[in-house]
Structure 1
Amino acid sequence: MTRALTTIGFDADDTLWQNEQFFRLTEDRFVALLGEHGAAAEISGRLLEAEKRNLGFYGFGIKGFTLSMIETAIDVTRGQVSSAVIGEILAAGREMAAHPVETLPHAAETLAALAGDYRLVLITKGDLFDQERKLAQSGLGDFFDAVEIVSDKTVATYQRLFARHGTGPERALMVGNSLKSDIVPALAAGSWAAHVPHELTWALEHAEEPAGERRFRKLVDLGGLVGLVREIG
């Protein structure tokens, strides 16, 4: 009997380990630094706009976020930001890059239960150096048959990677917390997709839930993934 699934792709940030909470804490610190120049909501909004503009130049991750904070600081102070504040922003970025990895509940045991029976592929976007660091520190690397760090996640990304590391997207499942990056494009590529929501999701990763899609599933946490995989077949 032919299996429905041969390959399972996993997102990394906020699916296997904490990530967004460190961005939020750093953003709060940044807003406090510039508090005399505007309301918190206004500064955060201008930072988000800078991040949107800069994605095509710096990509996803801590380095791009740090550069966007510096740009926003220059913007909201009309070029009068002090070198001390710039130094604080750079220090905050370095602290993010050095923060210990905190794996999420059920990550290790779920990967252990599926490894060997399915081809497991880590599919993550962001800065190469930072993602490699987090994977190494997480202790989860040995569970994966392949690791792909990509600039973005699109329909073509999933078609290409699930063909390279499996038997095509139709017999693959993508697991992640981002509807925009992990779920919607994977479904469009022909894959199954399991949404594992995280309490914090970056504004630029929001999308409509594809509730009517036959291959879409939603889980409370990673603890339900093994049962779902067995159900699909």
Structure 2
Amino acid sequence: MPLSKIKVIAFDADDTLWVNETFFRKAEEEFCELLEDFMPKEEANKLLFDVEMKNLPLYGYGIKPFTLSLIEAAITISNGSTTVDLIQKLIEKGKQMLQEPIELIDGIDVTLDVLSKKYRLVMATKGDLLDQERKLINSGLEKYFHHIEIVSDKTEKQYSKLVKHLDINVEEFLMVGNSLKSDVLPVLNIGAHAFHIPFHTTWVHEMVEEEVRHPNFKSFTKASQLLDYL
């Protein structure tokens, strides 16, 4: 379908508008170092991931659920002998992550400025409502968006609801994001367009092995390249 039909462009937030995953990887490394007396780092990291996956249906995505998983994993790894001091360190790590300064993805502000003059722009992301709203405000990018959509997960059903809410046809919708699993595949499956801009670090849960081949799909290395097509 031609890009000339696009009316609304939705952007993912974390690692599409601003840096996010880097903070999680750093926290994981520090966690494994703290628990090294109980378990080798690689094993501890795998156990933490398993705990996160188990908790995902209950807690959803975001820093606060991640912090709870850190605490639970620490208790498991230490066989219940973890100290109050260690738990406090993990809580403080979560608070620190919530207060990290916003680092915009290179070129995203200029790209949004140009596109906002031609299209309706939407921020469509998953995660914790309070945290994502705070990051959006602190980013200085809020002025570019016509609508903000923060959901518990990104599924075909959620994207279809968003398209309906925006009162457009599915072929008039374009999603831009760093995750093939969340930002690309479900969007293509409903018949819309999807652009992929990979971030240098990807959470294991968001990785897909399949190569995407679809007429409504394009991949870029940086945000400014969108302007060559839109």
Which of the five TM-score ranges fits, normalised by the shorter chain? over 0.9
- Paired residues of 1:174 and 1:193 also in contact (CA < 8 A): yes
Distance in 1 between residues matched to 2:141 and 2:190, nearest whole Å: 27
Say how many residue pairs are matched. 228
Equivalent position of 1:173 in the other structure: 174
In 2, the alpha carbon distance for the partners of 1:5 and 1:210 equals 24
Do the aligned partners of 1:158 and 1:169 also contact (CA within 8 Å) in 2?
no
Q: Which amino acid aligns with 2:188?
A: L
Secondary structure in 1 aligned to 2:117? coil
Q: What is the letter of the counterpart of residue 112 of structure 2?
A: L
The separation in 2 between residues aligned to 1:119 and 1:224, in whole angstroms, is: 19
Distance 2:134 2:211 in 1: 33
Counterparts of 1:22 and 1:186 in 2: how far apart (Å)?
Answer: 27
SS in 1 for 2:27: helix
Cα distance, 1:199 vs structure 2:
0.4
The aligned counterpart of 2:65 is: 64
Measured in 2, the distance between the counterparts of 1:16 and 1:196 equals 11
Q: Does 1:37 align with 2:38?
A: yes
**Offset at residue 201 of structure 1 (A):** 0.7
Structure 1 letter corresponding to 2:68: L
1:163 positional shift: 2.1
1:208 positional shift: 3.4
Q: Offset at 1:106?
A: 0.8
Aligned partners of 1:4 and 1:227: how far apart in 2? Answer: 16
Pair 1:117-2:113 in alignment: no
Tell me the percent identity.
Answer: 43
- Opposite residue 182 of structure 1, the aligned amino acid is D
Q: Please name the residue that 2:13 is paired with.
A: 12
Q: Which runs of 4+ in 1 moved over 3 A?
A: none
Residue 157 of structure 1 deviates from its aligned partner by 1.0
Other-structure match for 1:130: 131
What is the match of residue 104 of structure 1?
105
**What is the CA distance between 1:4 and its match in structure 2?**
1.3
Partners of 1:6 and 1:119 within 8 A in 2: yes
AA aligned opposite 2:102: V
1:31-71 CA distance string (max 9 Å, x none)? 11101011111000000000000011110000110000101
Q: Post-superposition shift, 1:3?
A: 4.0
TM-score, L = length of structure 2: 0.96
* Pairing of 1:1-233 with structure 2 (within 5 A): 3-229=4-230
Counterpart amino acid of residue 206 in structure 2: E
Deviation string for 1:3-50 (max 9, x for gaps)?
A: 410010100000010000001111111111101011111000000000
CA separation of 1:166/1:3 partners in 2, compared to 1, >3 Å: closer, same or farther?
farther
- Letter of the 1:21 counterpart: T
Q: Tell which deviates more after alignment, 208-217 or 148-157.
A: 208-217
Q: Scaled by the length of structure 1, what TM-score is found?
A: 0.95
Is residue 175–residue 196 contact of structure 1 (8 Å, CA) maintained in 2?
yes
